[in-house]
Structures are given as C-alpha cells and as structure tokens.
Structure 1
Amino acid sequence: MIKLRKGTQNDLVEMQTLFLDTIHIVCKNDYSEKQREVWSSSVENKARWHSIFENQIVLIAEINTKIVGFITLENHNYIDFLYVHHNFQRKGIASELLVKIEKIALKNNQNQLFADVSITAKSFFISHGFDVVNSQKVIRKNVELTNFKISKNLF
C-alpha cells in the first residue's frame, strides 16, 4: 500500500538516489547518455536541493518505508520535481502524488498548475489533463536537452 507523507531533509539522500536512477534508467530511451549525465549532474547543486524543503511543498510516496516517488510544488502552482522509482513505474504512484498536489494547489486558491517536463514524462502529464504550451531546448553544460512547458487548468 502506498503511503503519502510530507518530505523532510532526512529524505534528501534517498530522493537524490531515486532522481539519479530514474533519469539514467527510465529516461534512457528518450535522452542520450551525455544528456542524462548533464541532467543528473544537477544533483550536485546542494543549495538547490536543500532549499526545496524550505521553499516548496514536498510529498513522498512510500511502500514499506521505502521511498518510491516524490513530487514538489513551488509557489503553490509549479511542479518542480515528480520522480518515481524505476522498479515502481506504472503502478499509480505518480498519479496519486499528482492528485494530492492538485488538491493542495486548489486549497491555496490556484487555478492552474505548470511544469517543465521531460520527453519521457510528457505523455503521463497529457493523460492527466495537462496541455503542452511549447517545446523547449535547454542548454546545460553545452548539451541541448528537449523538454516541454505544460499547464493544466484546475477549475
């Protein structure tokens, strides 16, 4: 059974491991090894990772005390992170996290949600009512990554 709870700094290492593994395993069909290396190198930005617990809502999905997914919400309307463990894909975990975040956004009087999502995640978000605003080319360490700006009207 999936348990959702608020994330804390104590979850950071496990979240980062899940982040890295998801990028390298789940996204390998959509991004080259070099692209995945550059994308995953953002884990080295310690200040950014520590700040998510101060500046964002962090929800953790657990099964038997193991973190199997997480989502973060910035400014009550921007999904910054949504990652699910590679061994727990397509089990409804991301959907549960997203539904909970949508409820939190609505409770905070938000009428839209936004995110910048990977090629890999795009179809998931579209299936949950998000629209693609535009395709984006992001340059990190001289490597081009494609992602998508998406939005969803909540009411």
Structure 2
Amino acid sequence: MNAQAYPALAVRPMLPQDAPMLADIFRQSILDLTGDDYTGSQQEAWAAAVDNEADFAGRLARELTIIATLGGSPVGFASLEGNDKIGFLYVHPAAASQGVGTLLSDALEKIAGAQGVEKLSVEASDTASGFFATRGYVPQQRNSVQCGHEWLANTTMHKVLAKPDRVAG
C-alpha cells in the first residue's frame, strides 16, 4: 500500500558522503519553512548548526539516520537519538507537503517500536509541532533553547507507540 501512497518516495540509511547534502536540506528547511514562527536572526542562528560540517556529520553518524529520496535524490532526513527520541526531521522546501515527513516519521516509529520502545519523544519546533500533533504526539512542556546568541522556543512532545504485532509460531 505504501508503494501506492508514495510512488516515487523511498527511505534508505544515511551514507557518510550524504552529509553535505543533508546539511543543505537542514539549512534550506530552516531558512525557507520556519519564517512564520521564528525571526530571521533566530533562523540564521539555528541554521548555523551546520556551519561545521564535520561536527554535523559526526552527530548524524552517531544517531540512526535515514534519508527520504524522491526519484533517487535526497529530499529529507530523520534520526533517532538513542532509541526513543527523534533527533532530526527535516524536509527540503521543494518537497514539503508531499508525504516526506510522514514517510520518515512512520519509519522512525516502526524502528523504535521494533526495538521495544514504548514512548517516542521529540523536541518539536513551533513550525513542526502541528505536524507531530496530527501524528498523535502530545505536548509535555515548552522549552527555550539557546542557539548562538539567540533563544528559540520548542515543545517537548511524546507519543505512545503501538505494540508491535506478535506472530504466534
């Protein structure tokens, strides 16, 4: 059924050579999609997290990072921090509202659930909190996070995952 819903979308693991492309997706997503919720200086401070590409690549490599591709080209990525927290979930603006975030979220929830995780958390930006709420994530607390000289608000949200079906054998 997913093949019908997402005819050109696919998910694959991150490869080390993907880091520059993922840094670009991260930067473009912030600068193009969050302007209704954050000031220009907040966006710049947030996007600066990828200025040191080696550090960014190292963080992605330490997490379980997956990439969504559209026609074979990366258009988004997401990661599990530990096994119970979404660390990253970013979609390139050109692919926004095309099911990329849903595909990535579904994959992370299935991976976490298969690892026995009962509750998945995310620190959702004000831009992304509505997306997560529609997926069943419940707000727990508001946060202020310092990025450079700027403070950004986000919301810690949790979702209780469905228990994986057990096959009797």
TM range (shorter): over 0.9
The residue number in structure 1 matching 2:57 is 50
The residue number in structure 2 matching 1:89 is 96
The residue number in structure 1 matching 2:153 is 146
Is the contact between residue 52 and residue 58 of structure 1 (CA under 8 Å) also seen in structure 2?
A: no
Identity %: 28
Q: Which has the larger radius of gyration?
A: 2
Task: Letter of the 1:72 partner, please give it.
Answer: S
Task: Letter of the 2:71 partner, please give it.
Answer: N
Is the contact between residue 81 and residue 87 of structure 2 (CA under 8 Å) also seen in structure 1?
A: yes
4+ aligned runs moved over 3 Å, structure 1 = 45-48
Is the contact between residue 43 and residue 49 of structure 1 (CA under 8 Å) also seen in structure 2?
A: yes
| Structure 1 unaligned residues grouped into runs of 5+ | none
Is the contact between residue 60 and residue 70 of structure 1 (CA under 8 Å) also seen in structure 2?
A: yes
Q: How does 1:1-150 map to 2 (within 5 A)?
A: 1-150=8-157
Deviations 1:17-68 (A, max 9, x none): 0100010001111111000011111112445422234321111111122111
- Structure-2 separation of matches of 1:139 and 1:88: 28
Is the contact between residue 8 and residue 53 of structure 1 (CA under 8 Å) also seen in structure 2?
A: no
- Structure-1 separation of matches of 2:11 and 2:135: 19
- Structure-2 separation of matches of 1:39 and 1:64: 29
RMSD (CA atoms): 1.2
Moved more, 139-148 or 85-94: 139-148
TM-score by length of 2: 0.87
The residue number in structure 1 matching 2:5 is none
TM-score by length of 1: 0.95
Task: Letter of the 1:118 partner, please give it.
Answer: S
- Structure-1 separation of matches of 2:30 and 2:61: 24
